[in-house]
Amino acid sequence: MRFDAITLFPEIFAGITGHGVTSRALSQGLWSFHAWNPRDYTQDVHRTVDDRPYGGGPGMVMMAAPLEAAVRDVQADRERLGQPRGQVVLLSPTGRRFDQSAAAQWIAGPGKILVCGRYEGVDQRFVDRCVDEEWSLGDFVLSGGELAALPMMDACVRLLPGVLNDDQSALQDSFHVNLDGLLDSPHYTRPEIYDGEAVPEALLSGHHARIARWRRDQSLRLTLARRPELIEQARRDGRLDKADEKLLLGLQG
Ligand SMILES: Cc1cccc(C(=O)NCC2(NC(=O)c3cccc4nocc34)CCCC2)c1
């Protein structure tokens, strides 16, 4: 899988290319990454990439020409290497909401060309001419599209075969970080007593059935409290057993 990013701040991508499982996967050739800076595609001495918005208003807008020139260069590079074209994605607050199923869709394809906006956004003529899809990380204000691209790329790379080892990928199965769509139960590690606080006794018992029951109960309690809609979904999917329903009945009264 190949990711390309069109970005004024390529160093931001060190967040995943330089650290952790995604960095190792990169060096193992399980995916590849190329950053392309629109500033390298300017013609003027000041290397201008932004300008004031027509119609007035605050801030600046990224100009179409440097962005388009960068995208065309990426496409030429992919073509030169005999790689498939790949969709041009604009990270944007007006885009489709990214989620785990989107990550699964993305890795099924040849790899996206991610256009990261800065300032107030990008010239619409660039969007109309070059952008195939718009995707959003969520409804909040960000300083740049890079800060949405990173988590999306991370979610995709983790799904690639060979990136995670077996037990890590077991956790990876459902995006609630839990095998059955509920929120994960609390985690503990050494020391057994931390500043006077002990580890729940069930986890020290060595009884696997008892440990599994404790973890399940904790997941149900936490999910009921924070994401009750996931309980309903699990119920509809028939993923709650009698013991689960008994506990929930006790909690919901
Ligand atoms: C809710 C809202 C409404 C209007 C503007 C903004 C806003 O934050 N505008 C600033 C920019 N935001 C994003 O790119 C961005 C933001 C949020 C999620 C995203 N998912 O992908 C890219 C994303 C656009 C150009 C530079 C950064 C946010």
- What is the spatial distance between Cα 235 and Cα 140, in angstroms, rounded to a whole number? 31
Each residue of 90-140: pLDDT tens digit?
Answer: 999 999 999 999 999 999 999 999 999 999 999 999 999 999 999 999 999
Cβ-contact 1, 25 below 8 angstroms:
no
Q: Please say if 216 is a catalytic residue.
A: no
Q: Whose CA is nearest to atom 14 of ligand 1?
A: 145
Q: Please say if 93 is a catalytic residue.
A: yes
Q: What is the pLDDT of residue 253?
A: 72
Ligand 1 cavity residues, CB under 6 Å? 91-93, 117-118, 121, 136-142, 144-145, 148
pTM of the model: 0.92
Q: Please say if 173 is a catalytic residue.
A: yes
Give the other-Cβ count within 10 Å of 37's Cβ. 17
Length of the chain in residues, anyone? 253
Q: What is the ipTM of this complex?
A: 0.97
Alpha helix segments (H runs only) across the chain: 14-17, 20-27, 64-80, 100-108, 124-130, 146-157, 166-172, 201-204, 208-226, 228-236, 242-252
